[in-house]
Amino acid sequence: MSEKTIFKKIIDREIPSDIVYEDEISLAFKDVNPQAPVHILIIPKKEIESTNHLKDDDTALLGHIYTVVLPHLVEKFKLSDGYRLVTNCGNNGGQTVYHLHFHLLGGRFMSWPPG
């Protein structure tokens, strides 16, 4: 069996994290290396490596993240003025942890293009 990712260890409470939202499908916690005043990682509890590994039956999971978890966090962290939701995929995308995750960044103006 392949080794657990750091995010699976967070889900399983094997390593600590600052959890800001949890339900049966998803978990959200503060990024250990924040790039903005608000920097939260939203992950599915299901182990999916990246957006390249999504399957047809993951549609509801993605919808849940966008329509339930995201609005909850936007309200909780007062991000109604705007934010950035980023998913890094694969080597060229800058992905370092191979468990699908969405970076929710806010609390400051986000410039474009990203680096």
Contacting residue, 62, 88, 107, 110, with ligand DGP by CB under 6 A: 88
| CA–CA separation, 61 and 79 (whole Å) | 23
Residues ≥6 apart with Cβ < 8 Å to 18: 29, 30
Q: Residue 90, interface with ligand DGP (CB under 6 A)?
A: no
Q: Which range, of 30-38, 54-62, 67-75, 107-115, touches ligand DGP by CB under 6 A?
A: 30-38
Residues 49-68 binding ligand DGP (CB under 6 A) are: none
| CA–CA separation, 56 and 31 (whole Å) | 29
| CA–CA separation, 41 and 53 (whole Å) | 18
Active-site residue, from 39, 53, 99, 101? 101
Is residue 64 among the annotated active site residues? no
CB of 109 to ligand DGP, least distance (A): 19
Per-residue burial over 8-30, b = 16 or more CB atoms within 10 Å of its CB, e = otherwise: bebbeeeeebeebbeeeebbbbe
Contacting residue, 17, 26, 48, 69, with ligand DGP by CB under 6 A: 17
Q: Residue 85, interface with ligand DGP (CB under 6 A)?
A: no
Residues, the chain: 115
Q: Residue 26, interface with ligand DGP (CB under 6 A)?
A: no
Judged by the rule CB under 6 A, the positions of this chain that interact with ligand DGP are 6, 17, 29-33, 41, 88, 94-97
Q: Which residues are catalytic?
A: 101
